[in-house]
């Protein structure tokens, strides 16, 4: 499934977008490590004169936008239409998601002390599921997209990861919320 080109534009403008981060939390959920918060700065590809600054905070096991500031340069102005177009999910996914992936990369592939584990694929499925949960995404859909499989196959992979003890029974996902206009 192809990603949204506008989301790719945000990645190109600020590949990481992370300005600062909070103290590292050893277990933000499911054994993932991550900071208590991220401060993120990005520019919208169609409104380069407006910088979007976000505080993305870990709340109840998921990263949520808790603060937003907009700064204009030149003759740029913030309009209500611009506010509706801010792709918050995409920004959180591409900035905080990338930082979390880097922090948890070895566990993502079932690598223990630099050695490949026998449950590599299921470890990656469990990791993908957890990352989606933490970023407020639909976890089974994330597995479906990451593996390039149907929803039913993704559900079976998640069940297999759970049966292998790689996902706890209390790690349940939600269907995900409505997308912003920029994302689809």
Residue 61 lies in a domain: yes
pLDDT, position 97: 83
Average pLDDT over the chain reads: 78
Q: Is residue 3 pLDDT above 50, yes or no? A: no
Total domains present in the chain: 1
Residue 11 lies in a domain: yes
Q: Is residue 128 pLDDT above 70, yes or no? A: yes
pLDDT, position 127: 86
CA distance 58 to 95: 14
pLDDT tens-digit readout, 93-110: 888 888 888 787 766 655
pLDDT tens-digit readout, 49-105: 888 899 999 998 889 999 999 988 888 888 888 888 888 888 888 888 888 887 877
CA distance 27 to 16: 22
Residue 114 lies in a domain: no
Pair 164, 122: CB distance under 8 Å:
yes
pLDDT, position 180: 43
Residue 101 lies in a domain: no
Residue 51 lies in a domain: yes
pTM value is 0.61
What does DSSP say about strands 115-116 and 111-112: parallel, antiparallel, or unpaired? antiparallel
For residue 104, count other CB atoms closer than 10 A to its CB.
20
pLDDT, position 153: 92
Read off the pLDDT of each residue in 137-159 and give the average, rounded to a whole number: 91
Nearest CA-CA partner of 91 in 129, 61, 52? 52
Residue 180 lies in a domain: no
Q: What is the H or E stretch that residue 20 is in?
A: strand 18-21
Residue 57 lies in a domain: yes
pLDDT tens-digit readout, 153-175: 999 999 998 998 888 877 776 55
Enclosing domain of residue 55 = 5-87
pLDDT, position 67: 95
Residue 69 lies in a domain: yes
Per cent of the chain over pLDDT 70 is 77
């Amino acid at each position: 499934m192809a990603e949204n080109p506008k989301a790719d534009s945000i990645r190109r403008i600020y590949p990481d977008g992370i300005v600062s981060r909070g103290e590292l939390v050893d277990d933000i959920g499911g054994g993932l490590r991550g900071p208590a918060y991220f401060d993120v700065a990005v520019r919208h590809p169609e409104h380069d004169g407006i910088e979007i600054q976000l505080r993305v905070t870990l709340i109840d096991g998921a990263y949520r936008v808790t603060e937003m500031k907009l700064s204009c340069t030149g003759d740029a102005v913030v309009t209500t239409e611009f506010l509706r177009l801010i792709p918050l999910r995409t920004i959180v996914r591409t900035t905080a998601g990338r930082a979390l992936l880097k922090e948890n990369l070895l566990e993502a592939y079932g690598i223990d002390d630099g050695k490949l584990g026998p449950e590599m694929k299921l470890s990656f499925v469990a990791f993908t599921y957890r990352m989606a949960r933490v970023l407020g995404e639909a976890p089974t859909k994330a597995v479906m997209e990451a593996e390039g499989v149907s929803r039913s196959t993704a559900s079976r992979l998640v069940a297999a990861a759970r049966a292998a003890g790689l996902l706890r029974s209390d790690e349940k996902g939600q269907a995900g919320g409505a997308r912003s206009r920029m994302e689809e």
